[in-house]
A and B are shown apart, each in its own frame.
Chain A
């Protein structure tokens, strides 16, 4: 059974700190892994998509890594800002139909 786990469940940091969010998955036979941002009561905003053949992707202050062999991905946020406060979801695609989500990390960046 495929499971996706995210730790920590919640994180509070002062503005300007660099931080790392973790995602682990039980089955390494993935097609891709995506990181999303979800604001309260809103839908999902895709942040980064890493294909199974890739090791990392970068977009602005965000960097996501993928280690399939160990079943892990990290999302690194540099120089965090209050506007980064949201829930971050990791999702793993095993085939075109099965997209498994982690339970998310709720991030609060304090000004």
Chain B
């Protein structure tokens, strides 16, 4: 199957700083990528849909000024958590959509800890 990578896999930052997470589709072009957040022992919640060359579409309740999403190319989307706070600590997972069959391929996730 298709491969999606995320970097970094784990990051610890201080409150008030910004953190950028990269999501790359390694062997296919993804016109659309998705960002999810997973709280401990909870399921994945879709945060936003990232479309190449256009603005991201955010789910209700997700602050677009806090979670900046950029999809600069067909293989790269970035999520920047701005002015991070401890409550932003979570597991962030991206996926890239395969329009054929609508299958999504998931990255390995990024564990963010804000101290």
Contacts and interface: CB of A to CB of B under 8 A. Distances in A.
A99 B105 CA distance: 12
A50 to B, nearest CB: 11
Contacts of B57: 97
A106 B111 CA distance: 20
Interface in A15-41: 31-32, 34, 36, 41
Interface stretch (B62-70, B72-80, B96-104): B96-104
A98 B47 CA distance: 10
Chain A binding surface SS class? strand
Chain B binding surface SS class? strand
A41 B43 contact: no
Interface in A60-108: 89, 91, 93, 96-104
A97 to B, nearest CB: 5
A46 B103 contact: yes
B44 interface: yes
Contact of B44 (A32, A46, A101): A101
Contacts of B43: 4, 89, 101-104
